[in-house]
Amino acid sequence: MLEDKINNSFIFVDKPPNMLSHEMTSWVGRIIGSSKAGHIGTLDPKVTGVMIIGLGKATKLIQFFSGIRKEYVAVIDWKKEVPEDFAIERFSRFKGKIKQIPPEQSAVARRERERNVYSLELLEHDGRFSVFRTLVDPGTYIRTLCADMGGKMADLRRISAGPITEKDCHIMQRIVDASNLYKKGYPKQLDNMLVSVDDMIEKFGIRKIWIKKNAAIGVSNGSQLDYSGIEKGDFSKGEYVALYYGKMLIGMGEAISNEKRGFVIKPVRITANRKEIEESN
């Protein structure tokens, strides 16, 4: 049923300008009819582009899709006219490992921290302004990057978040239209917009581990997974994995060992209970 999907899925939204991220997230949840909504990666009010929103029970899994690189197209105002060579040289200086102090208006502690700038490419230059594209670690502040380079951010758009690009996103009006059609008995458009948790796990390359029924019941009660309870699947110590019993997602776990014996995975987030597991085929 689509109602079930509405309360356990994700939707990719092209955030418009002049809207707070949490306001937009709440608005999308209400329009679609979800019991709860949460987003991955906050954007400043004037910033546009890719935003991933979890709906209903899927909000509990947001943390497993959060540590992703982001790509942006930005405009930097150098405050005065500069030659193109100046912009190119400045960009080259800020590629690689950089140190940042978050801006005063940020919600995190203002301590210096290291981030990676994987690419910083000049797209267009016109006297005082340069348009550039950059791929950065999560938690990198582009406004701060522009200030550290000697300019100020004039415009910003997020064009990708991990594997999700702006081509995958839906503008607000289309979401409203799809919701209205659903209420009138035409669910296909909204159904096509919603991304299941299973599909998110695939898109983000999270490895799947299939486990035996007794092991699944144990995990659902918070027990660590012994290697003997695994039917198939590979993992490496330190990574998050998705734990399945058949087609049912039991929850997300963290691999705590590379050994092929003993406790190897500890549950981090449980999504199925004992009754659901016992009644499944």
Q: Nearest-CA neighbor of 43 among 24, 71, 58, 21?
A: 21
Q: Which CATH number applies to 207-279?
A: 2.30.130.10
Return the pLDDT at 52.
Answer: 97
238 band by pLDDT with thresholds 50, 70 and 90: very high
The ranges assigned to domains in the chain are 2-67+165-201, 70-78+86-155, 207-279
pLDDT, tens digit, for every residue of 57-79?
999 999 999 989 999 999 999 99
Is 44 known to be catalytic?
A: yes
pTM for this model (two decimals): 0.91
216 in Cβ contact with 182 (< 8 Å): no
Identified catalytic residue from 14, 44, 126, 137 = 44
Return the pLDDT at 83.
Answer: 95
DSSP string, the chain: -HHHHHTEEEEEEEEPSS--HHHHHHHHHHHHT-S-EEEES---TT-EEEEEEEEEGGGGGGGGG-S--EEEEEEEE-SS---HHHHHHHHHHTSEEEEE---TTSSS----EEEEEEEEEEEEEETTEEEEEEEE-TT--HHHHHHHTTSEEEEEEEEEETTEEGGG-B-HHHHHHHHHHHHTT--HHHHHH-EEHHHHHHHTT-EEEEE-HHHHHHHHTTPPEEGGGEEE----TT-EEEEEETTEEEEEEEE----SSSEEEEEEEE---HHHHHH--
Best CATH choice for the domain 2-67+165-201 from the list 3.40.1190.20, 3.20.20.70, 3.30.2350.10, 3.30.70.1450 = 3.30.2350.10
pLDDT, tens digit, for every residue of 108-158?
566 788 999 999 999 999 999 999 999 999 989 999 999 999 999 999 999
Higher-confidence residue: 240 or 281? 240
pLDDT, tens digit, for every residue of 153-173?
999 999 999 999 999 999 999
Percent of the chain having pLDDT more than 90? Answer: 85
In angstroms, how far is CA 103 from the centroid of its own chain? 22
Fold classification of 70-78+86-155 (topology level) = Alpha-Beta Plaits (3.30.70)
Mean of pLDDT values over 238-258: 95
Q: What is each CA distance from 36 to 29, 57, 96, 191, in whole angstroms?
A: 6, 8, 38, 18
Q: What is each CA distance from 175 to 51, 220, 221, in whole angstroms?
A: 14, 35, 38
Q: Which residues pair with 100 in a beta bridge?
A: 113
Domains 2-67+165-201 and 207-279 share a fold: no
